[in-house]
Amino acid sequence: MGVRAREYFSGSRRGPVRNPGGLNPGRIEGMDELLKQIDKVAMWGSTQDRKEILKIHKAVAQIGKNSVRRAITSHKGGTIKVRRSGRFGGKKGPSYDIQKGTLKRSIRVFDVMGNKTSVMVGPRSGLIDRTMAGPSAGVIRNDGYFAHFVEEGDLPRHMGGRGAYTGPNRGFFVRGMKPALPRMTAELIRRYRMRFDKYMSKS
């Protein structure tokens, strides 16, 4: 369809043209330039200007990150010691010392694997440095592997099970993102417009 339309409007199609709609089948003045502009629009954000689009997405995502962090209350009890031996029904695993403020620090903006322009906002996991040795070994400062327990309130069975957590951080992500979304949308549109105008003005 697109190729046929291009041939038709540019006048490159040879032979008789059926034209029941009454459109002049001859060459339309300025059509080549219009088609060139359409091609350029189609490339925006894909192969061309990709890095700039990624910068926009990361900047907008920062609004969400900051809002979610503000919705989190740091644990008042200080360091939480996780000792996983499996004796109480939990799974066996390494021992961790989760430091105060870990959940808040885990909220980050990060790239989406396999996509060159998309980003995500949320708790990062798997950030524990397993090469550490000495007093710092097993200390968690920014790994939010437990964030889904806090958000949903559902703890492991040996810790109380579904709905057991009712602390101030339950639902922190939804609560934090709700006021941020309108601002993120407005900022995204504003930055898109500015970048798109600049992109289209290039020869």
Distance of alpha carbon 67 from alpha carbon 62, whole angstroms = 8
Highest mean pLDDT among 74-88, 113-127, 139-153 belongs to: 113-127
Domain boundaries, the chain: 2-43, 50-201
- Phi/psi for 77 (5° steps) reads -85, 5
203: pLDDT confidence band, cut at 50, 70 and 90?
low
Does residue 142 contact residue 106 with C-beta atoms inside 8 Å? yes
| Mean pLDDT for the chain overall | 75
- C-alpha dist (Å) from residue 104 to 10, 17, 184: 58, 66, 20
Q: What is the 3-state secondary structure (H, E, C) of the chain?
A: CHHHHHHHHHCCCCCCCCCCCCCCCCCCCCHHHHHHHHHHHHHECCCECHHHHHHHHHHHHHHHHHHHHHCCCCCCCCCEEECCCCCCCCCCCCCEEECCCHHHHHEEEEECCCCCCCEEEEECCCCCCCCCCHHHCCEECCCCCCHHHHHHCCCCHHHCCCCCCCCCCCCHHHHHHHHHHHHHHHHHHHHHHHHHHHHHHCC
Provide the whole-model pTM. Answer: 0.69
Q: HSE-up of 98 (CA within 13 Å, CB side)?
A: 21
pLDDT at 110 over 60: yes
pLDDT at 121 over 80: yes
Q: What sign for the dihedral angle of Cα 112, 115, 119, 120?
A: negative
Q: In sequence order, what are the residues at sequence separation of 6 or more whose Cβ sits closer than 8 angstroms to the Cβ of residue 163?
A: 153, 154
* 135-154 per-position pLDDT tens digit: 454 556 677 778 888 888 88
* 24-70 per-position pLDDT tens digit: 445 566 767 777 777 777 777 766 688 888 999 999 999 999 999 99
Distance of alpha carbon 104 from alpha carbon 202, whole angstroms = 42
